[in-house]
Amino acid sequence: MTVRKEKAERLADEELMPLIGEKDPEAFEVFYDRHGGVAYSLAYRIVGEKAAAEDVTQEAFISIWKSGARFDRARGSVRSWTLSIVRNRAIDALRSRAGKAPKLTFDDDAVLEQRPSEQLTDDEAMRRETATEIRGALGELPGEQSKVIELAYFGGFSQSEISRMLGVPLGTVKGRMRLGLEKIRGELAEGLA
């Protein structure tokens, strides 16, 4: 038996997951509507093609539908769990396409698919505001720091591979990653203050 969608819409992500574990499609629909956009955007950012991004997003969400009951709230938020699944699947897709290098820039504006935005919920509006701030924080990082973060997170490269690719010592890569994340963390802390 499923809950009504209106009821599901009032539930927090963490409250939706047990319902998804019980195979409630209306709960899942609310979950998709909340996170499908950022998931698709992340998949596109990593694989760089619309069709591949759709495949990755679909596979990730179906995997979540089948394993929703396995979400462990002790390990983070539903959103970060979801995005880590999308990221892993996208990196797998990227690696399986031999000879194609990942995109290495934050400039996605040129490929934006502009469609009228739907009514935004307060939460979504806040997330977008935060995302804008984070984009700003990332954009303000020194190029060498943002590059190693991009190569690792969006390209799926290990720190050793990045060291070889950039021709810099491994210790330098580690330091740049650390400094970059610390700056982002600092921006987040300031934003919350």
Partner 1 sequence: MTETNHERWSEDVAAYLLGALEPAETAELERHAEGCEHCQAEIRWMTPAVNAVPESVTQLEPPRELRERVMAEVRFDAEPENVFADEPTAAGLLDRAYGWLRDLGSGPMGLRPVVGFAAAILVVAAVAGFAIGGGIGSDSGKTSTVVSGEPPTGEAPGVTAKVVSSDSGGTLHLANVKQIPDSRVLEAWVQRDGEVEPVEALFVPDRKGQASTEIPDMDGVEVVMVTTEPKGGSKSPTSSPLVTIAIPQ
Interface with partner 1 in residues 114-173 (CB under 8 A): 114-115, 117, 127-128, 130-131, 134-135, 137-138, 149, 152-153, 156-160, 162, 171, 173
10 binds partner 1 (CB under 8 A): no
Q: How far apart are CA 17 and CA 23, in angstroms?
A: 10
Segment contacting partner 1 by CB under 8 A, of 4-12, 26-34, 92-100: 26-34
Q: Which stretch binds partner 1 (CB under 8 A): 8-16, 20-28, 93-101?
A: 20-28
Beta-carbon-side half-sphere exposure of residue 17 (alpha carbons within 13 Å): 16
Residue from 92, 123, 185, 190 touching partner 1 (CB under 8 A): that is 185
Minimal distance, residue 122 CB to partner 1, in Å: 16
Residue with tokens 């502009």: 114
Among 8, 16, 19, 24, binds partner 1 (CB under 8 A): 24
Per CB under 8 A, contacts with partner 1 among 90-119 are: 91, 106, 108-109, 112-115, 117
**List 8, 78, 87, 94, residue binding partner 1 (CB under 8 A):** 87
In angstroms, what is the minimal distance from the CB of 118 to partner 1?
8
CA distance 142 to 56: 31
Q: Going by C-beta distance under 8 Å and a sequence separation of 6 or more, which residues neighbour residue 130? A: 191
Question: What DSSP string describes 112-153?
Answer: ----PPPPPPHHHHHHHHHHHHHHHHHHHS-HHHHHHHHHHH
CA angle 52, 57, 62 (to 5 degrees): 130
Q: Which stretch binds partner 1 (CB under 8 A): 6-14, 21-29, 92-100?
A: 21-29
